[in-house]
Amino acid sequence: GSRPGGLILKDLYRSIGWPLYKKYGHAYDAFKLCLTDQEDIFKGLPDLDPEVVEVLTDYIKKRLAPQPIKIRADVEVTCFTYEGIDAVKESLLAGTELGTKESPIKIKLIAPPMYVVTTSTLDKDLGIDSLNKAIEVITEKITEKGGKIDVKMAPKAVSQREEAELAKLMEQLAAEAEEEDGDEEEEGDADLA
C-alpha cells in the first residue's frame, strides 16, 4: 500500500488542510483556487511529495469541478384551431431556438398537452432566465396562432431525484399510451372511411 493515493487522510489533512486553512481561511476555498490554476496552493508546503500533489490536484478537479445545473419548466401547450399540432410544434421550436451553447434548450413531450422545457448550465440564474425567455416566445407564437400555454411549473433548478422521478413518469405514460394505441386504432380507421 505505498501508492501515493493510499496516504492516511488524517496525516494528509495535518500536512495540507491546516496550513491551507491558516492561509486561505478554508481548505475548500484554496481547492477552488487550485481548480482555476490561479495559484499553486501547495507551493508553501515544502514537505509534500510532488506525486501526492498531483494525485490531490487531480482529485480536487474531479470533485470540485462545477456540475451543470439542470433547469426545468413544465408547460401545457394547446391549439384547437386549424393549424393545431403544427402550431404547437412551431411555437415549441421557436422556444428551443433561444438556446445557446452555454445553455441549450430542449423540449420533450411528457404526454399531450404537457411538455417539459429543460436546459443544463453552470449558471443557475442564466438558465432560469433563458427558460423564461423561451416560454415568452412560445407564448407569443402560440397566442398568434389562436392557441394557449399554461405554465404548470415555472423554471427552477431540479435535483437528480426529481429528474429520476420525471423519467419514471415518462416511462409510465409511454407504456399507457402504447396500451391505448392498441384500442384506438380500430376506431381511428372507422373515422377515416
Q: Which long-range contacts (CB under 8 A, 24 or more apart) does 162-166 make?
A: 162/72, 163/70, 166/72, 166/110, 166/116
The Cα 159–Cα 167 span in angstroms is 13
Instruction: Report the b/e string of 56-84 with b at 16+ CB within 10 A.
Output: bbeebeeeeeeeebbbbbbbebebeeeee
Question: How are beta strands 114-121 and 105-111 bridged, if at all?
Answer: antiparallel
Looking at residue 128, its pLDDT comes to 95
| The three cell numbers locating residue 49 | 511529495
Looking at residue 19, its pLDDT comes to 59
Looking at residue 10, its pLDDT comes to 57
156: alpha, beta or left? (left if phi > 0; alpha if psi -120 to 50): beta
| Residue 21: partners with Cβ closer than 8 Å, 6 or more residues away | 27
Its pTM stands at 0.60
**Beta bridge partners of residue 153, listed in sequence order:** 74
Mean pLDDT by 10 residues, the chain (193 residues): 50 61 58 59 67 74 75 96 94 96 92 93 90 98 97 91 79 79 51 42
